[in-house]
Chains A and B, each alone.
Chain A
Amino acid sequence: DIKMTQSPSSLSASLGERVTISCRASENINNYLSWYQKKEDGSVKLLIYHTSRLQPGAPSRFSGSGSGKDYSLTISGLESEDIATYYCQQGYTPWTFGGGTKLELK
């Protein structure tokens, strides 16, 4: 199985701040990398797929980049509604997720 290592595991940031979360795969995943947002109410939403493609309906302040083994999610200006836990996921069977990054307000 491909292991996904996400960092940091938690992050405290101020409103308006630029935030970056990283995800490293144990092998090349050829851009099959997605990012999800999980809120405290349990809801899960797709933000980014195939490394950098913004899911329709996701705010444009979210962006993704990367290649090979290394990927990142950036929030260009943190808003209060972005407080959540973020997960990366690779697309080779069995799909696997990163351990999550809990984003909190400073």
Chain B
Amino acid sequence: EVKLVESGGGLVQPGRSLKLSCAASGFSFNDYWMGWVRQAPGKGLEWIGEINQDSSTINYTPSLKDKFTISRDNAQNTLYLQMSKLGSEDTAIYYCARAQRRVCYFDYWGQGVMVTVSS
């Protein structure tokens, strides 16, 4: 069974950084592209970015490229999202997801982790 479990969320002050993790199991992690998606309160889904199997290609949505960094550790079957210079607009539920890159969709999603940016 494919399982994706996000962790590392919580309350963080504006301007600070936070790193989310996504533990993958039930599939061969190093065979898949992975991605992050978020949903701010009352808003729709927003694609943050994606990373390929060996981390040689990482794509971001342009508005977040300078704030967020996606990485992975294939030995630990874990995906990461490093977020910096956080603002209230970054308050959201953050999802990790497994990507089917050839046809461009996410076939499995985690349950999401809440990040609240507030003083």
A interface list, Cβ under 8 A from B: 1, 32, 34, 36, 38, 42-46, 49-50, 55, 87, 89-100
Q: Does B13 contact A (CB under 8 A)?
A: no
Pick the most buried of B47, B59, B61: most chain A CB atoms within 10 A of its CB.
B47
Q: Are A94 and B103 in contact (CB under 8 A)?
A: no
What DSSP secondary structure best describes chain B's contact surface?
A: strand
Pick out which of these stretches binds chain A: B68-76, B82-90, B105-113: B105-113
**CB distance B47 to A97 under 8 Å?**
yes
Report whether A99 and B107 are in contact in the complex, using a CB–CB cutoff of 8 Å: no
Residues of A within 8 A of B60 (CB): 94
Please report B residues at the A interface, Cβ cutoff 8 Å. 35, 37, 44-47, 49-50, 59-62, 93, 95, 97, 100, 103-109, 111-112
Q: A46-B105, A50-B103 are in contact. Are A94 and B45 (CB under 8 A)?
A: no
